[in-house]
Amino acid sequence: MRTRQILCPTDFSETASHALGYAIEMANLYQVNIRLLHVMSKPYGEHHYDIVVESVAELETQLEAYSNEKLDALVKEIEPQLTSTLQVKTAVRSGDTFAQILEDSIESDVGMIVIASHGHTGLSHMLNPNVSEKLANKAKCPVLVVK
């Protein structure tokens, strides 16, 4: 952990922003870089909502451009909070959120994952897959789940 970057997946929510604060603190403490990851799910509009686009590829291109734009804005917010020698790297992946975060953590050889919890309880917890809980059980590195 002490020499490898911190992976911080984000869905650009307020909870993810809160988790990012912890990732920044950990990065400064251990003097490691941050890797921001956004996973794009398969666009629902492709088959379900009749969104007007020329093609599925165009929709995916637009979603990826939007994701990169949001990540760039986050980087501009984060960099002043980091020690001058540290960097923020970004990545956008597509597919199943859990699988992509796990795969990215292995490929990037991260030392820790800092991820937000959606905080579902009761029936909502049973009906909604909990990515952070699955990561805590399957990841090969420490996982910090932030509420």
- Residue 34 resides in a domain: yes
**Residue 16 belongs to what domain range?**
6-146
Q: Which pTM value belongs to this model? A: 0.85
- Residue 1 resides in a domain: no
Nearest to 10 by CA among 85, 123, 104: 104
Averaged pLDDT score across all residues of the chain: 86
Provide the pLDDT confidence category of residue 78 given band limits of 50, 70 and 90: very high
Q: What is the CATH number of the domain that holds 57?
A: 3.40.50.620
Residue 144 makes CB contacts below 8 A (sequence gap 6+) with: 19, 22, 26, 112, 113, 114, 115
- Residue 132 resides in a domain: yes
The total domain count for the chain is 1
Q: pLDDT digits over 94-109, tens only? A: 999 999 999 999 999 9
- Residue 23 resides in a domain: yes
Q: pLDDT digits over 25-66, tens only? A: 999 999 999 999 999 976 554 444 455 556 777 878 888 999
